[in-house]
Amino acid sequence: MSLEDAQNEVDVAFTREEMKGLAFENTFAGATSFLRRRYTKDLTHADVAVTGIPFDQAVTNRPGTRLGPRAIREASALQTPEPPFGWDYDVMSTFAIADYGDMAFDYAAPATIRERIESHVAGILDQDCAVVTLGGDHSITLPILRAHVARHGPLALIQFDAHTDSWENPDPTRVDHGTFVYTAVQEGLIDTAHSVQIGIRTVNEDPLGITVIEAPEVHEHGPRAVIERVHSIVGERRAYLSFDIDALDPAYAPGTGTPVWGGLTSAQAAAILRGLRGANIVGGDVVEVSPPFDPAGTTAVAAAHVAVELLSLWGWTRR
């Protein structure tokens, strides 16, 4: 693309004709779709769709993640002029990526949210399109998993988090961001023997058969050891990757509802994510970004990078 073309690009979220390729619009201006991809509900020519679920009524501490998808989209504009660093291919130029927009729902009817999310994600999958989701709190992952499992069968779960989110929830009507793993295991959505949680640093005595790699272990042994262990656990099985931004230490992601000290660094997370290339990732999400608690936008920037890594991981085995 010539300099003249770059100087005249504007609002490519609506004006771009080709779904593939980089974008050179000024990062500080224009409509902020994710990675300046085209906003569209027509996924006929799309390989993967990015969608937002701006729901945060299941949090146990600080709210605000309903504003996460918008902030992540804005932060993603920083990455659009260049191929993703650390990969030997450019997912933006190799695959047709669409921004499907956010899911519409009645904020005053939280009891209906899980069915709404499952239907929303299933509607994308039914168009033969993969899904990467921007949250929202971590309760959204349960209905997203249900939609994926209906299509692929039980999945291995790769979860980056400060918390296991596997606390017992005997009441199925409760919508809680700290119990989605428990419910998913009870429903048989997760292949626990081949699932792993990374960055954990809170106490939950029952891991439900899932391998837990605590944050101190990451610090002591380094990303390479974690990568090798995750590959040995997950193998070639279809996997879903969920990244709670509080997996990162609050120094790197202060804008989240339940921050816990001693977490992963941005560099550790980036290295582990890129090291997972080759895993059969069928979908993923990045959740728990709460912009009101991070005026500098650091957390949203980290989440936007995570989402690009999710896209790159998904595309790695499908190039």
Q: What is the pLDDT along the chain (319 residues), one digit of tens a residue?
A: 555 667 889 999 999 999 999 999 999 999 999 999 999 999 999 999 999 999 999 999 999 999 999 999 999 999 999 999 999 999 999 999 999 999 999 999 999 999 999 999 999 999 999 999 999 999 999 999 999 999 999 999 999 999 999 999 888 788 899 999 999 999 999 999 999 999 999 999 999 999 999 999 999 999 999 999 999 999 999 999 999 999 999 999 999 999 999 999 999 999 999 999 999 999 999 999 999 999 999 999 999 999 999 999 999 999 9
Cβ atoms of residues 136 and 142 within 8 Å: no
* C-beta neighbour count of 54 within 10 angstroms: 20
Identify the sign of the CA torsion 175, 178, 179, 185. Answer: positive
Threshold 0.85, pTM exceeds: yes
* C-beta neighbour count of 50 within 10 angstroms: 28
Q: What is the DSSP-derived secondary structure letter of residue 312? A: H
Maximum pairwise Cα distance, the chain:
61
- The interaxial angle of helices 266-275 and 298-316, nearest 10 deg, is 10
Write out the binding residues for Mn(2+).
Answer: 138, 161, 163, 165, 244, 246
Which helix (H) or strand (E) covers residue 140, if one does? Answer: none
CA distance 93 to 129: 17
Write out the binding residues.
Answer: 138, 161, 163, 165, 244, 246
- How far is the CA of 50 from the CAs of 214, 288, 316, in angstroms? 29, 16, 17
Name the token pair of 203: 């106490």
Domains, the chain, in order of start with CATH, read 45-106+113-316 (3.40.800.10)
